Amino acid sequence: MTNGANDVLDVTIDGTVARLTITRPDKRNAVSDTLMDALGAFFANPPEDVRIVILSGEGEHFSAGLDLSEHVARDAAQTMRHSRNWHRIMDMIQFGGLPVISVLKGAVIGGGLELAAATHIRIADPSTFYQLPEGRRGIFVGGGASVRIGKILGADRMIEMMLTGRKYTAEDGLRLGLSHYVCDSAAEAEAKANELAAKVADNAQLSNYIMIQALARIEDMAKADGLFTESLCAALTQTSDDAQEGLNAFLEKRAPNFK
Ligand code: 1HE
């Protein structure tokens, strides 16, 4: 079922899976304001039955990042607002409560890499390459890369990546944590996304929600606060009906049937 579509983002609901496809292949899926708005509108109010999202791009590239044709028209104040708006929408993707799988191919550049880094499971195919070419464009990252990609790579490696504009390959990305999987082909990457979507959507919903909400935040906390927060999360999940079902299913040697 197609739930809604516009000319930059196709949204198709397939049971509990929402398939979001960026549909600007002629512009290498560059992230325009309209595309950001469309992503924000979906994650602000996802359909009730959706349990997981698969995000991909039409054509040969996941995303070439910030739409540079729009960038030139902004002054400092507008650029600040633009960056803060990207932060808001990337946070909605990361912390909205729905697991998001991104299927990567071709260019995953600049804002495209920022978008991918806001997703929870990243699956690449061999054509995938990663780049932060902001230095060559005379700009800086603004969609959360300093925090999210810095955390994946470490500031040291991210500085070198930005200064030199180097490209990391799909295999490099796997080694560095930019993706979690590299499949042998685009078709296999799609299949892997579908397989993992079915598996993750089948988890207890509260467990998924708490994983998404808590773990990245705990990473930012002092140790004592992190451990306390972990106990609160354990108290919430382990006293749920689904926890009882999960334990019963294990003891009865059957698959759990979560609500
Ligand atoms: C674009 C964009 C874009 C392509 N904004 N229009 N991002 C970049 O610096 C990456 C810039 N793009 C590229 O390096 C290349 O386009 C690709 C390696 C991704 C693909 O190369 P190719 O040879 O397949 O395509 P192309 O011929 O370069 O581009 C095809 C069309 O897409 C062309 O438009 P046309 O009207 O001339 O056909 C390009 O202008 C257009 N296009 N990429 C706008 N990015 C919040 S801060 C985030 C900061 C950043 O993201 S900086 C990184 C920006």
Percent of the chain with pLDDT over 90: 93
134 is annotated as an active-site residue: yes
Question: Does ligand 1 lie within 6 Å of residue 64's CB atom?
Answer: yes
Domain that holds residue 229: 205-251
pLDDT of residue 1: 40
Is 257 inside any structural domain? no
Is 259 inside any structural domain? no
How far apart, in Å, do the first and last CA atoms of the chain sit?
23
Instruction: State whether 161 and 227 are in the same domain.
Output: no
Question: Does ligand 1 lie within 6 Å of residue 67's CB atom?
Answer: yes
Question: Does ligand 1 lie within 6 Å of residue 62's CB atom?
Answer: no
Instruction: State whether 197 and 168 are in the same domain.
Output: yes
114 is annotated as an active-site residue: yes
Its ipTM equals 0.98
Instruction: State whether 44 and 62 are in the same domain.
Output: yes
Instruction: State whether 194 and 210 are in the same domain.
Output: no
Question: Does ligand 1 lie within 6 Å of residue 162's CB atom?
Answer: no
Is 170 inside any structural domain? yes
Cα(159) to centroid(ligand 1), Å: 22
**Among 218, 217, 33, which Cα is nearest to 143's?**
33
Is 256 inside any structural domain? no
Instruction: State whether 133 and 186 are in the same domain.
Output: yes
CB atoms within 10 A of CB 139: 14
Helical (H) or strand (E) element with 102 = strand 100-104
CA angle 219, 221, 224 (to 5 degrees): 115
**Among 103, 23, 100, 36, which Cα is nearest to 66's?**
36
Cα(28) to centroid(ligand 1), Å: 6
pLDDT reading at 259 higher than 90:
no
pLDDT, tens only, 219-248: 999 999 999 999 999 999 999 999 999 999
pLDDT, tens only, 138-187: 999 999 999 999 999 999 999 999 999 999 999 999 999 999 999 999 99
Is 80 inside any structural domain? yes
Instruction: State whether 154 and 244 are in the same domain.
Output: no
